[in-house]
Chains A and B, each alone.
Chain A
């Protein structure tokens, strides 16, 4: 099992549709993979075999969708225990989830839900992050989510709240540039204000993906290539944070792996333009 000795820069999401391709151990030009934690936490089947196969050759990040770190009911012990077991098995270089809640314990909505940026929410998050990081035995990263409604009259903007969360809990931020852009359009703010407000030392990872324009709002679907406006924001951000892993997410209408890889290499090219060439050799030989 490889452990990265330097920051692996460009990665893609590991998705079942690409298992047959990756099983053949092709030479690929991305440096790491991100796996959805929940797809492997309750399985001893092919998905976990595939994850272990990939992990043998590449660094892997575990990215969850069900931690529900903003839950006022607290975190589920069974979830944390299963995630810890997976972490111990895979030894990921990053463990992340979203700054959101997903429903109530008795009625999970399985969505990345919005919440008002209040001091009460901050207190709940501080308690939950503390419990998560203690139970998992490591730092976690939390991602800004796309939202389709907001709450007027709250004491923090989204970026002010994210900064408070990171500074007061010791977690880092997974900055999803697509989500940031989607929110800027849905909630009418300048995305550069958000990007420039986040202290670089708080950013532990970057996500890129494609949204869908629904006519009345932008919807975070991860079903399209990254939009030019999002590339521009990414370029602006990556100029300030050279040592941060970058990931392309594509979850719906998923293309063949080489097309996904192509999108990842666009990110590498932008990274290069600021910091010099990325080593895009497959880590099966370089790490």
Chain B
């Protein structure tokens, strides 16, 4: 054993216990160890190999609770196992594992009749991000009064605000997680949903917005001027009138999603 460096040992041990490897003893590592209790050598290595899968599955289950709820135990565990086998964890924090799970669900497309799984998982990852994010400072609603109509204005949103859109009603689905269903999600999910997620006073809020409102918020987030964002939105949605624009701006200031305002004379 003294001949073997720690680095080499750790490489061999990882190979023998990583989920991508079938749980059979690598002869090299097996010769080096003595199993505990009355375990066999493969049995002792499997204690560790099984533990890895269990912990990573639990981490995915905590983050992607609604995916688990929609799919049921058997399918969720199967997706998790596949993800774990193909995506080793490179994070030190177990709860940060699973960033690519939504993309993998998209690629796997396991159920043609449930095409929303990738977006639902993406929403859950976003929610987790927001849960752990520090609330940002917001501009005061009073600053709206002092804006000049002639100025070129850009709104910069805070870091604890995210926009989300999907062709499926993932928020409606997510709200129902934990309720009982008979294999079919108990809601009409086949319509689009656009959302603003934000943190205020340490709480997360989710607000559904119209396509036009989403378009304006997205344009502003992408650094468009206020005038540019409104022009594009009104062109695309002619019914989006002055009152609805005023309501949107009321909401933007009321929710505290604006971190600062850039004004060019």
Contacts and interface: CB of A to CB of B under 8 A. Distances in A.
Interface of A: 38-39, 41-46, 49, 66, 68, 70-73, 76, 78-79, 101-111, 113, 115-116, 118-121, 124, 147-155, 183, 185-187, 214, 216-219
A68 B90 CA distance: 13
Nearest to A79: B92
B90 A108 contact: yes
Interface in B1-17: 1-2, 4-7, 9-11, 13-14, 17
Contacts of B246: none
Given A107-B88, A107-B89, A45 B132 contact: yes
B32 A44 contact: no
Given A148-B37, A150-B33, A152-B33, 16 more contacts: A39-B95, A44-B135, A45-B133, A72-B5, A72-B10, A111-B51, A118-B6, A149-B33, A149-B36, A149-B47, A150-B36, A151-B33, A153-B2, A154-B2, A183-B36, A186-B37
A217 B134 CA distance: 44
B17 A118 contact: no
Given A109-B52, A118-B2, A118-B6, A42 B14 contact: no
B189 interface: no
A153 B31 CA distance: 12
A125 to B, nearest CB: 9
B39 A217 contact: yes
A151 B18 contact: no
Nearest to B51: A111
**Band of interface residues on B:** 35 or more
B14 A109 contact: yes
Contacts of A119: 2
Contacts of A217: 36-39, 44, 47
Interface in B47-62: 47-48, 51-52, 55-56, 59
B239 interface: no
Contacts of B4: 116
B6 A121 contact: yes
A46 B6 contact: no
13 contacts: A66-B92, A71-B10, A107-B89, A110-B52, A115-B9, A120-B2, A121-B6, A151-B1, A151-B32, A152-B1, A217-B44, A217-B47, A218-B37
Given A38-B92, A108-B92, A113-B48, A216 B2 contact: no
A120 B51 contact: no
B9 A116 contact: yes
Contacts of A49: 202
Contacts of B39: 148-149, 216-217
Contacts of B134: 44
A115 B10 contact: yes
Contacts of B132: 42-45
A109 B33 CA distance: 19
A55 B132 CA distance: 19
B35 interface: yes
B25 to A, nearest CB: 11
A149 B93 contact: no
> Which of A49, A116, A185 neighbours the largest number of chain B CB atoms within 10 Å of its CB?
A116
Contacts of A41: 93
B81 to A, nearest CB: 15
B7 A73 contact: yes
B47 A104 contact: no
A152 B4 CA distance: 13
Contact of B13 (A68, A113, A219): A113
A109 B17 contact: yes
Contacts of A73: 7, 10
A38 B93 contact: yes
A78 B92 contact: yes
Nearest to B30: A149
Nearest to A119: B2
A72 B6 contact: yes
Contacts of B55: 110-111
Contacts of A46: 131, 202
Interface in B87-107: 88-97
B14 A107 contact: yes
A219 B46 CA distance: 13
A45 B127 CA distance: 12
A36 B103 CA distance: 30
